[in-house]
Amino acid sequence: MGRIFISCRIFPDEIARLEREGHEVEMYPGDVIPREELLRGVAGADVLICPLSTRVDRDILAASPRLKIIANLGVGVDNIDLDEASARGIMVLNTPGVLTETVADLAVALMLAVARRIAELDKRLRAEGFPGWSFMPPYLGRDVWGSTLGIVGLGRIGAAVARRARCFSMAILYYSRARKPDLEAELGCRYVPLDELLAESDFVVLCVPLVPETRHLIGERELSLMKETAYLVNIARGPVVDEGALVRALREGRIAGAALDVFEREPEVHPGLLELDNVVLTPHIGSATLGTRRRMASLAVDGVLAALRGERPGNLVNPNAWPGKL
């Protein structure tokens, strides 16, 4: 039977499922585990179930000689040293699919919030009251409907954003590693090189994973290609954007605004972003609904139970680590 360490709070019924199959479970009772606690927890564990705020680097892996499975409570696995895990024969599992629609909902909410100035005007109304309906500025924003959306990374979440954009009569451009003829036919979207997408879009939504090729994919040069009236929305990972360059572009009015769910140095937020009214900030809540978090926990536990039974888990990120049988 396995020893399972969980490095954040999860639903008790999922822990009960693990225990019912005879596994010994220890859960860290907070949300962000200190490194010493993590080192202690993984030292004798066969399985680590962790959120994306748990950084599983070489040192952690070296301190976990029994570890066979890491189940990440999220689809992005940039918090885990995948090469090292694979070299050690450790299977890495994630939670794709079950969070797609929820994250796409947030992307649309962020586009609407920044273009219609919802967060800014809510704050202003509470501080200054509502002086009366006004036809002319200061409350005017920009239309989302009928505008051009540029999706960077037309994967599961990117496509779900595009499906929603059709209901807003948006023209849809996309950039990905590979062209997607089926999605082009289904969604009426058009593939363009990244520079063209940046130059033509009114909203640029980032939906790529964080990998070496996407780190600072959006920097000074890319921001300078965007329209002065355009907005950047990042629901992917913070380091996909050079945050310093973004703050400069926003301060100088070179783009109209930004809506960010993720940050370059989480949980730190660039102080320059906090000062700007044309920025909407959310604390990495893309998948944060009760239903989706339940589905994510359940999928992670399904994968762990399957792997511990010697079955190949469906959501295996590094198939080269599959031993055939544990």
Q: Catalog residues that contact ligand NAP under the rule CB under 6 A.
A: 75-76, 96, 99-100, 103, 153-158, 176-178, 207-211, 213-214, 235-237, 261-262, 284, 286-287
CB of 114 to ligand NAP, least distance (A): 15
Site for ligand GLV in 228-287 (CB under 6 A): 286-287
Which of 17, 237, 270, 293 is flagged as catalytic? Answer: 237
**Sequence-ordered list of residues with C-beta below 8 angstroms from that of 203, at least 6 positions apart, any chain:** 111, 115, 144, 147, 148, 149, 150, 170, 230, 231, 233
Please select the residue that binds ligand GLV; options are 99, 204, 260, 304, rule is CB under 6 A.
99
Three-state secondary structure call for residue 24: strand
Residue 106 one-letter amino acid? L
Contact between 303 and ligand GLV per CB under 6 A: no
Annotated catalytic residue 237:
yes
Structure tokens at 232: 């950047």
Q: Quote the CA–CA distance of 294 and 83 in Å, as a whole number.
A: 29
Q: Which is nearer to ligand NAP, 99 or 113 (CB)?
A: 99
For residues 75 to 94, the per-residue mask of contacts with ligand GLV, x marking binding by CB under 6 A and - elsewhere, is xx------------------
Which of 24, 26, 101, 266 is flagged as catalytic? Answer: 266
Query: Which residues does residue 241 pair with via DSSP β-bridges, in sequence order?
Result: 218
CB of 275 to ligand GLV, least distance (A): 26
Q: Which residue blocks in 141-242 are alpha helix, DSSP H? A: 156-167, 181-187, 194-200, 220-225
Residue 213 one-letter amino acid? E
Annotated catalytic residue 266:
yes
Q: Which is nearer to ligand NAP, 64 or 176 (CB)?
A: 176
Q: Which is nearer to ligand NAP, 36 or 182 (CB)?
A: 182
89 and 321 Cβ atoms separated by less than 8 Å: yes
Query: Which residues does residue 91 pair with via DSSP β-bridges, in sequence order?
Result: 69
Q: Which is nearer to ligand NAP, 41 or 155 (CB)?
A: 155
Partner interacting with residue 52 (select from ligand NAP, ligand GLV, none; CB below 5-8 Å by kind): ligand GLV
Please select the residue that binds ligand GLV; options are 49, 52, 114, 170, rule is CB under 6 A.
52
Structure tokens at 78: 């940039």
**Rounded alpha-carbon distances, angstroms, from residue 278 to 136, 232, 259:** 19, 11, 8
Q: Which is nearer to ligand GLV, 188 or 314 (CB)?
A: 314
Annotated catalytic residue 270:
no
71 and 317 Cβ atoms separated by less than 8 Å: no
- Name the DSSP letter for residue 311: P
Q: Quote the CA–CA distance of 233 and 113 in Å, as a whole number.
A: 11
- Indicate which residues carry an active-site annotation: 237, 266, 284
Question: Which chain residues interact with ligand GLV by CB under 6 A?
Answer: 52, 74-76, 99, 286-287
